[in-house]
Structure 1
Amino acid sequence: MININDFIDEFFDFTANNQLFPWEVINHLDDLLAEKFNQLTDEYEISGNIAIHKTATIEQNVIFKDRIIIGENSFVGANAYLRGPVFVGKNSKIGPGCEIKQSIIYNDTAIAHFNYIGNSIIGNRINFEAGSICANHYNERKDKEISVLFNNEIIRTQTYKLGSLVGDDSRIGANAVLSPGTILPKESIVRRLELIEQVKADQ
């Protein structure tokens, strides 16, 4: 069992169901955010499916699509594109030109600029340097189902869109690529230009 709380402190404040695998959280993220919408206070400005905390900063030309929650004191830079469902926690920064798709960005995390985060769960106090990517799809494979490697066991997810689970206090270097299904424990370091590919095509 992959317990997300082992990777991200107090993650199950986000959802009380601690039996969900990371890909199940991502696949049901819109429903989970719909529940959170019902719990939001008047500290949020809500327009349709978009909820932005009144202390958050949203720069020019940001595009929000589908259900989005932006938390307290967070920042979204110019020309970013958030394709919901997306949750951004407290004190986090989404830099200019970033694209975030169907993901959770937890607290005090910085996504620099020109990054792509797809179908991922990103923990607390993480830094993504410029141009780093959480890829979510195996374009190059005939069998596109994504598997994850956990405790030396390969687990089939029965899904075709899945990015990464990145544990608290990790550092991802510029132009690094996390392949679909990557799981990084707390305090991981990914070097600049490094490719993380935990499960090979022939496994």
Structure 2
Amino acid sequence: MTVMAIVLAAGQGKRMKSKLYKVLHPIGGKPMVEHVVNTLEQINAARTLVIVGFGAEAVKGHLGDRVEYALQEQQLGTGHAVLQAKEAFGDEDGITIVICGDTPLIREQTLLDMMNLHEATGAAATILTAHMEQPAGYGRIIREAEGQVSGIVEHKDCTPEEALVKEINTGTYCFHNKKLFEALSQVTNNNTQQEYYLTDVIGILVRQGAVVQAHCMEDSSESIGVNDRVALAEAEVLLKKRINRQHMLNGVTFIDPDNTYIECDVQIGADTVLLPGTLLRGSTRIGEGCTIGPHTEIIDSVIKDEVTIKQSVLQEAVVDSCTSIGPFAYLRPGARLGKNVKIGDFVEIKNASLDEGAKVSHLSYIGDAVVGKHVNIGCGAITVNYDGFNKSLTEIGDHAFIGSNVNLIAPVKIGEGAYVVAGSTITDAVEAGDMAIARERQVNKPGYADKIKARMKLRKSGKAE
């Protein structure tokens, strides 16, 4: 049977108190509405239509042509929102999932279970429900003795007996598509809010004698709808636990899962150890047997096997196996490290490749450079890559030695096996096997330090001539 989906994403989300459109607020590194669309793609929905209103262009800009769109110019309730899909879906045969764009935690299997119940019972509508020990504020699911749903009662309208019901409406539904739009045509706005409610469709179908079912999800935390920053933080915590648990089941060690943050698309190999304060973001891929952290952030980077990274930040970097980084290193976009490279404390690498066995142990900046195999770059050495107008390249050949506090003024090339003496400022090429010295010769003035000190004492006493 054809599966279609309608995502309700037209609300402004005033309670978020944000310039950012509500469903674009991220959790786990992705906007909420993208989580919903991803789940619908996983259940093989043939068509997904997103109802947009406020911030429509921002949503379209993010989701692109993955989905279809319908505009709800005035927010007149959930029933009115779904009605905007009638032109696109009204005549289609099949079933339609209706889901809110601010419910990012609903899983693929939960939707499949709801759909299976819907099809097996020939229902006109199936409501996704959850069991809540504290159901205040939620609409209650009222069932007949044999279990069929007889209606949804909003909390404010509950009788004392109905208020005791702990099965609540999550706002996600599965409908026989044509029956959905037929019932929607009968929904009115005769209520205190003067809005058209999708829940009224359930009552209409029940009165028509149609079968209405409810599927209660196993994990009620999936039902969370994000309407403010408090709920956003709660959803973030729940998703983090879900992601971390899956990585642990896949063989990754978390020393402190509560203080380790992994975004949705990150991949991590078995036997990798994550220390507290680790943040792995974007499309980062971590190999096997690595040790990451503590207090390390890695964004959109590729880290191969047996790498150690301590208290460092990496963004759009590529690190080959058996390399060590940190503490307090910064690898910026375009950093590419070979095997067995050592990057030490307070080293910054930008748009530079360092081949196998290269070492930059401390207090250095390597930018716009190609560094060969087994090069040693001493403390405080920098590649001077920017002249105020252009970025230029520094090339360092295999087995070269760059002494401490050396400035390599790009564009410049240091040949294979060359030796640059500490404190030098190099502006010209150094040929292979050569040694370069570019500094003033030291001059000592006997007794001159004592003369300077005596002069300063006189000035402080006011006796200076």
Give the TM-score category using the shorter length. Answer: 0.5 to 0.7
Which of 346, 352, 357 does residue 103 from structure 1 map onto? 352
Q: How does 1:29-40 map to 2 (within 5 A)?
A: none
1:116 counterpart residue number = 365
Q: Secondary structure at the match of 2:332?
A: strand
Mapped pair 1:88 → 2:318: no
Check conservation: 1:63, 1:81, Cα contact below 8 A: yes
Which of 45, 62, 86 does residue 286 from structure 2 map onto? 45
Tell me, in whole angstroms, the C-alpha distance in 2 between the residues paired with 1:50 and 1:99.
16
Mapped pair 1:126 → 2:378: no
Question: C-alpha deviations, 1:45-102, integer Å up to 9, x for none?
Answer: 1776211113010011x1112x211111001111111111111000000111001011
Question: C-alpha deviations, 1:121-175, integer Å up to 9, x for none?
Answer: 0000100011011110114xxxx4xxxxxxxxxxxxxxx1123100000000000
Q: Secondary structure at the match of 2:306?
A: coil
Superposed CA RMSD in Å reads 1.8
Q: RCO higher in 1 or 2 (8 Å CA, sep ≥ 6)?
A: 1
Which of 390, 394, 400 does residue 164 from structure 1 map onto? 394
Identity of aligned residues (%): 26
Tell me, in whole angstroms, the C-alpha distance in 1 between the residues paired with 2:334 and 2:342.
17
Q: Secondary structure at the match of 1:108?
A: coil
Tell me, in whole angstroms, the C-alpha distance in 2 between the residues paired with 1:183 and 1:138.
17
Q: How does 1:71-82 map to 2 (within 5 A)?
A: 71-82=320-331
Mapped pair 1:54 → 2:54: no
Q: Secondary structure at the match of 1:121?
A: strand
Mapped pair 1:177 → 2:407: yes
Tell me, in whole angstroms, the C-alpha distance in 1 between the residues paired with 2:337 and 2:350.
11
Tell me, in whole angstroms, the C-alpha distance in 2 between the residues paired with 1:183 and 1:166.
6
Question: When the two structures are superposed, what TM-score results if normalisation uses the length of structure 2?
Answer: 0.28
Check conservation: 1:118, 1:162, Cα contact below 8 A: no
Mapped pair 1:198 → 2:428: yes
Superposition misfits of 4+ residues, deviation over 4 angstroms = none
Check conservation: 2:299, 2:314, Cα contact below 8 A: no
Q: Which amino acid aligns with 1:102?
A: N
1:63 counterpart residue number = 313
2:161 counterpart residue number = none
- List runs of 5+ in structure 1 lacking aligned partners: 1-41, 145-159
Q: Secondary structure at the match of 1:120?
A: strand
What is the Cα deviation at residue 191 of structure 1? Answer: 0.3
Tell me, in whole angstroms, the C-alpha distance in 1 between the residues paired with 2:393 and 2:407.
11
Q: Which amino acid aligns with 2:419?
A: I
Question: C-alpha deviations, 1:3-48, integer Å up to 9, x for none?
Answer: xxxxxxxxxxxxxxxxxxxxxxxxxxxxxxxxxxxxxxx7961776
Check conservation: 1:163, 1:179, Cα contact below 8 A: no
Which has more radius of gyration? Answer: 2
Tell me, in whole angstroms, the C-alpha distance in 2 between the residues paired with 1:162 and 1:88.
20
Tell me, in whole angstroms, the C-alpha distance in 2 between the residues paired with 1:78 and 1:163.
27
Q: Which amino acid aligns with 2:423?
A: L
Tell me, in whole angstroms, the C-alpha distance in 2 between the residues paired with 1:136 and 1:130.
18
Greater fraction helix: 2
What is the Cα deviation at residue 183 of structure 1? Answer: 0.5
Q: How does 1:136-155 map to 2 (within 5 A)?
A: 136-139=385-388, 144=389
Question: When the two structures are superposed, what TM-score results if normalisation uses the length of structure 1?
Answer: 0.63
Aligned length: 137
